């Protein structure tokens, strides 16, 4: 079973999509990667969902990626004595560390001393997803006196955002550490880190993960955009978390930032996911708005690796229909000649190293010879990533003997991951690639393949071989190794 589209779909699982029948229907509708959102649900919930994914994966013989999304720090105000209060524009309002008193219309506790440590007069605080705005007039180690700039109703434990301020806190909370340990024992493929502000946040989690999963930096803070290049150099992939960006930055800036991030990730050959509110109206309706359909298509025209559904598939009324709709939008967009023109026009020169040179050469050969498919035989996934960076016209078979690599490649643009056996020679690898391409209906006798790999085999990050091969006569189908895909440690 192969997905026909190049761009991938990440679908969040939740109460509306927790049973096997629905998860399987989501895969058939077009989902390539499932997101487990650890802001909600118990460890038992997530274990059950992952077990169902792995059972479906083994039955279908198609690698499926799993992304664990860590909650990250949640900055909130405390509670109010008499319920919600109405803050009036121009009024004074105090935030402090006094946990012993419930809040009222004049003050409330904000139990985060790290925020007070970073505040300066003139800074703004956004409450309840930006619905209320306070401006700091005076502040100290345990208080902030503010003026209400945009008023409204404020209730218990609403979130706090501090735009333009670098907060001296780790992106990993105690809960995140526990969730991360649990997720690694489950064998998740990708881990999304929330609240990234600097490259050091990525380094911190990578030191814990030790290569057992890929790291996705969620870009949702203005501080992260200011340090984009250094974060991209450290992370394995990126998620454009547009909802949170839109709280802390003017909404009109978010589209340009999205394009900037996608371009930067494409230049480096690192997967990029565009997320948040893509088909939001389908939480309660069977069809999206035309603006939402256009939003998804824009990400595809830009060459994003994946687009993501959140509440639409996790808690909405139409989870399967949401994935199917996103799949149809992707397919129609990729069939548009303007899509290929946009990809080619936004293509950037490769870096001057062997791996990028092989990827660039493979794209050039594929275009010149009109090959049936490109094949990356890879242990770490690096060869497939370098091919995908080029956004070629031909489909990419990502062949790997590592089940963990196959699952990670499910997120990557244009790559159809296939689990295969080890090979010992170039001739053996070529024969395996030809057999697999025929079996998977990527090629027919008489057609040509471009094959890239790293020598010696099994050495990660050594893409240095390019071979052109032709399918001749009848080709024996390769043995099916998918029976090993139920072992996360493979």
Residues annotated as part of the active site: 35, 76, 218, 276
For the chain, give percent helix, strand, coil, nearest 5.
Answer: 40, 25, 40
d(CA 318, CA 345): 36
Phi-psi region of 175 (alpha: psi -120 to 50; beta: other; left: phi over 0): alpha
HSE of 366, CA atoms in CB hemisphere, 13 A: 24
Both structure tokens of 61 = 């013989």
Q: Answer yes or no: are the C-beta atoms of 60 and 485 closer than 8 Å.
A: no
Q: How far is CA 214 from CA 69, 188, 201, 354, in A?
A: 12, 9, 14, 23
Mention every residue, 6+ apart, whose C-beta is less than 8 A from residue 438: 444, 445, 471, 475, 477
d(CA 315, CA 39): 14
Both structure tokens of 356 = 């990028």
d(CA 416, CA 186): 24
**DSSP calls for 357-426:** HHHHHHHHHHHHHT-SEEEEE-SSSHHHHHHHHT--SSEEEEEES-HHHHHHGGGSTTEEEEE----SSH
Q: Which of 423, 441, 439, 429 is nearest to 475 (CA)?
A: 439
Query: Length of the chain, please?
Result: 490
Instruction: Return the H-helix or E-strand segment holding 214.
Output: strand 214-219
Strand partners of residue 125? 134
């Amino acid at each position: 079973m192969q997905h026909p589209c190049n761009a991938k779909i990440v679908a969040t699982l939740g109460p509306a999509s927790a049973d096997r029948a629905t998860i399987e229907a989501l895969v058939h509708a077009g989902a390539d990667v499932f997101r487990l959102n650890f802001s909600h649900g118990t460890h038992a919930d997530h274990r059950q969902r992952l077990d169902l994914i792995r059972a479906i994966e083994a039955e279908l013989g198609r690698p499926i990626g799993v992304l664990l999304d860590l909650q990250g720090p949640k900055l909130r105000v405390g509670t109010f004595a008499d319920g919600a209060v109405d803050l009036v524009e121009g009024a004074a309002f105090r935030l402090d560390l006094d946990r012993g008193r419930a809040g009222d219309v004049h003050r409330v506790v904000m139990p985060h001393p790290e925020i007070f440590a970073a505040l300066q007069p003139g800074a703004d605080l956004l409450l309840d997803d930006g619905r209320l705005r306070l401006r700091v007039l005076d502040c100290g180690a345990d208080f902030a006196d503010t003026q209400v700039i945009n008023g409204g109703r404020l209730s218990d434990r609403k979130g706090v955002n501090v735009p333009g301020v670098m907060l001296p806190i780790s992106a990993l909370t105690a809960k995140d550490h526990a969730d991360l340990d649990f997720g690694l024992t489950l064998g998740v493929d990708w881990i999304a880190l929330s609240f990234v502000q600097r490259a050091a946040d990525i380094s911190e989690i990578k030191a814990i993960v030790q290569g057992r999963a890929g790291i996705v930096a969620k870009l949702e803070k203005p501080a992260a955009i200011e340090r984009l290049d250094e974060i991209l150099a450290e992370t394995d992939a990126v998620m454009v978390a547009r909802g949170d960006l839109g709280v802390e930055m003017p909404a009109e800036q978010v589209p340009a930032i999205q394009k900037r991030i996608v371009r930067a990730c494409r230049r480096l050959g690192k997967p990029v996911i565009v997320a948040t509110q893509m088909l939001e109206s389908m939480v309660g309706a069977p069809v999206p708005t035309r603006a939402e359909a256009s939003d998804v298509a824009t990400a595809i025209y830009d060459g994003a690796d994946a687009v993501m559904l959140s509440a639409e598939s996790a808690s909405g009324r139409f989870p399967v229909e949401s994935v199917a709709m996103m799949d149809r939008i992707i397919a129609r967009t990729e069939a548009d000649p303007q899509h290929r023109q946009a990809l080619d026009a936004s293509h950037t020169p490769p870096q001057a190293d062997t791996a990028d040179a092989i990827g660039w050469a493979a794209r050039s050969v594929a275009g010149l010879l009109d090959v049936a498919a490109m094949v990356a035989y890879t242990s770490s996934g690096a060869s497939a990533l370098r091919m995908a960076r080029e956004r070629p016209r031909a489909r990419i078979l990502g062949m790997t003997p590592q089940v963990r690599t196959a699952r990670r490649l499910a997120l990557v643009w244009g790559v159809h991951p296939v689990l295969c056996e080890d090979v010992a020679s170039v001739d053996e690898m070529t024969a395996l690639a030809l057999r697999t391409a025929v079996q998977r209906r990527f090629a027919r006798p008489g057609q040509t393949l471009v094959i890239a790999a790293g020598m010696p085999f099994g050495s990660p990050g050594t893409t240095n071989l390019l071979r052109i091969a032709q399918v001749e006569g009848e080709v024996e189908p390769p043995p099916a190794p998918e029976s090993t895909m139920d072992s996360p440690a493979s």
